[in-house]
Amino acid sequence: MKTVNIHAAKTNLSSLVEEAAAGQEIIIAKAGKPKARLVPLAKPAFRRKPGMWKDLIVVHDSFDDPLPPDIAEAFGIIDEPSDRHPRPDLVVKK
């Protein structure tokens, strides 16, 4: 762990950032009292790879089929258009 005063930190910020990125912890002090800590960023737990779920998730052909009436009613979706319906965008158009 390295301690530098705030003036030296301002003057040498680029090199201090490189040192921190390499794994060293740097304490920035003002008048001898620690005020901040410069540390490297934590690495992500794993790197995401596009397509890693391919062939593991199946979307059935019936995915976009209308809901059964009892379930549609529970979600507030109705079959007939009505000016009184609070959400006309949820009305199923036939």
Q: What is the pTM (predicted TM-score) of this model?
A: 0.47
What is the spatial distance between Cα 39 and Cα 16, in angstroms, rounded to a whole number?
10
What is the spatial distance between Cα 47 and Cα 69, in angstroms, rounded to a whole number?
43
Q: What is the pLDDT of residue 90?
A: 66
Average pLDDT of the segment spanning 61-81 = 79
Residue ranges of domains in the chain, CATH in brackets? 2-38 (3.40.1620.10), 50-94 (no CATH)
Mean pLDDT of the chain: 85
Handedness of CA 22, 25, 28, 32 (dihedral sign): negative
Contact at 8 Å (CB) between 15 and 4?
no
Q: What is the pLDDT of residue 32?
A: 92
